[in-house]
Structures are given as structure tokens and as C-alpha cells.
Amino acid sequence: MDKAALTGALAPLVTTPLASKLVDQFVQIRIDFATKTLGRASPGKFVETFVQCLQHMATGTFEAKPDIDRYLNLKLENEASLPESIRVCGGRIARSIYTLRNKRNIAHDNEVDPNTFDLAFIQQASAWIMAELFRTASGLSMQEAGNLVAIVQAPVNTLVEEIGDTRLVLPDVSARAELLLLLHSHYPELVTVPDALRSLSRRSAKTVRNRLRDLHDEKLAHGSAKDGYRLTTAGHSAAMREVSALKA
């Protein structure tokens, strides 16, 4: 099951262009959660497209730039032609995503990542919305529709995989880039040298220690061999550039 198949499953309900946008944005949210980063506007775009889907389902047309707050807060629950699960549960879940987008540094391009709990909630909430739309479009049970969502969730361009107490950077990159991605996945917490050595166990310990010292010397990471290292603001930006290059 790929994005094209998921788009095809939704298209009869919301049109192919809207289905394609919604699936793309959902996959982006999954990438954000997997990499512990955020595409900044992606939750807002997801909710905006969901609103357009609701408008199309209710009236056969949709606005190019809907007033999302007004529609979700004042209009949606009165759209009697929509299934109750979509207009009540789906609408309120979308409102919660949009609230985090507006209030938790998610709408703005700055150096502060939302925390893991925000990302986890957004991806689970968007997955619920997708499953409910698949259920409505296809007549599947919620469990069957959820299985379709689970397929596209696992794993989508995952950069860092957590196995037990070890995080593995999966792309084939330099030791420097690998450490930036590893430190970013823990940001803003410290990563101890033993943890870094365990995660980069396929490289020599000398290489890992040298690259950590290089990041410290470049002021991309701060800390010590005794206490561990965490990214600085400059280091966070450098890690984000690595993430963006790999996503591209």
C-alpha cells in the first residue's frame, strides 16, 4: 500500500487533488514524528486540507482559503449531512491539532522544536482522522481502516530508529552528520559518550570521539566527555540542514 493507493481510496470521497494533498501531509507528519523534527506548517496544512475535505463532503465545493477556526468552532457540527463521527469527533480532534499548531511553537520557523509529546499527539490524532476518512470512504470497519493507516505509518523515510536503549541513524552519512542527527534526536537532552559510541558502534571509537570534539570546537555541540554533549542553537540548525537534505 503506497501513497498512490491511499489517495485512490480517498479520492471518491473528497476528490483526487484533496486526497493527494491530505495523504502527502499525513506522511510528512509521520516523517516529522520519526525524525523528532517538524515541518513547521505541516499540521496546519493538514487541518486546512481536512477542512476543505469536509466542505466538499458537505456541499460539493470547498474554499481555497477556509477560515479554519470559524469552520471548526461554529459551523462543522451543524453540517447534518456529514457522519457524526466526522463532524463531531473528527472536528474536535482537528481543533486540538490546530491549537497545538498555533500555541506550541509549531507554526513558526524558529529554533525551538515542539516536544515529543506534541509530536506524538499530532501524529496519532492525524492517524485517527485518516482512519475515519478511509472508513467513511470505503465502508471498512475502524480496525480495517486503521490497518491501512498503519501500513503507511511504518516506516516512512525514518532517519533514526530506536531499538531498546540505542538509537541508530539509518542513512549512509558521514560520522559528523550521523552525530548531528543522533544529537538532534535527543535534543535538548545530553547524549553521553558511551551512548554515542553504542549508537555509532559500526565506527571506531576514536572516530566518534574525534567528531564529537570537532562539533564541540565548532560550537555546534556543548558539553564534555564526562557529562555528555547536547546541540547548541547553531548545532540544531546544522542538524536541521542534514535532515532537510535527506528528506529531499
Single out the residue in 128, 153, 178 at which a domain terminates: 153
Q: What pTM was estimated for this model as a whole?
A: 0.61
Using alpha carbons, select from 214, 151, 183 the residue that is nearest to residue 3: 151
Instruction: Quote the number of domains for the chain.
Output: 2
Say yes or no: 140 and 164 in one domain: no
pLDDT tens, the chain, 248 aa long:
457 778 888 999 999 999 999 998 888 787 677 666 655 547 889 999 999 999 999 999 999 999 999 999 999 999 999 999 999 999 999 999 998 877 775 554 444 455 677 888 888 899 899 989 988 888 777 777 777 676 554 443 467 877 877 888 988 999 999 999 999 888 778 999 999 999 999 999 999 999 999 999 999 999 999 999 999 989 988 887 888 787 66
Q: What residue numbers bound the domain in which 18 lies? A: 3-153
Say yes or no: 145 and 181 in one domain: no
Say yes or no: 149 and 30 in one domain: yes
What does the alpha-carbon distance between residue 248 and residue 236 come to, in Å, rounded to a whole number? 18
Assign residue 242 the CATH number of its domain: 1.10.10.10
Single out the residue in 110, 125, 153 at which a domain terminates: 153
Single out the residue in 109, 132, 153 at which a domain terminates: 153
Bridge partners of 163, per DSSP, are: 166
Say yes or no: 203 and 135 in one domain: no
Say yes or no: 62 and 87 in one domain: yes
Bridge partners of 237, per DSSP, are: none
